[in-house]
Amino acid sequence: MTEDKSGEDHTARLRRLAEERSGESATETARTMAEQDYQRLVHELQVHQIELEIQNEELRTAQGQLGESLAKYADLYDFAPVGYLTSNRDGLILEANLTFAAQLGIERGRLIDTPLWLYAAAPDRGMLRAHLDRVFKSNEQGTCELRLQRPSGPELYVQLDSIMVLTVDGAELCRTSVTDICNAYVACNTSSTQIHDLR
97-147 pLDDT per residue, tens: 999 999 999 999 999 999 999 999 999 999 999 999 999 999 899 999 999
Tell me if 163 sits within 8 A of 118, measured CB to CB.
no
Measured in Å, how far apart are the chain's first and last C-alpha atoms?
153
CATH number of 81-198: 3.30.450.20
Per-residue confidence band for 26, with pLDDT thresholds at 50, 70 and 90:
low
Distance between CA 186 and CA 154 in Å, rounded?
13
Beta strands 156-166 and 142-148, pairing class = antiparallel
Question: What are the residue ranges spanned by the domains of the chain?
Answer: 1-78, 81-198
Q: How far apart are CA 10 and CA 15, in angstroms?
A: 8
Q: Could you report the per-residue pLDDT of 30-47, keeping only the tens digit for each?
A: 677 778 888 888 888 888
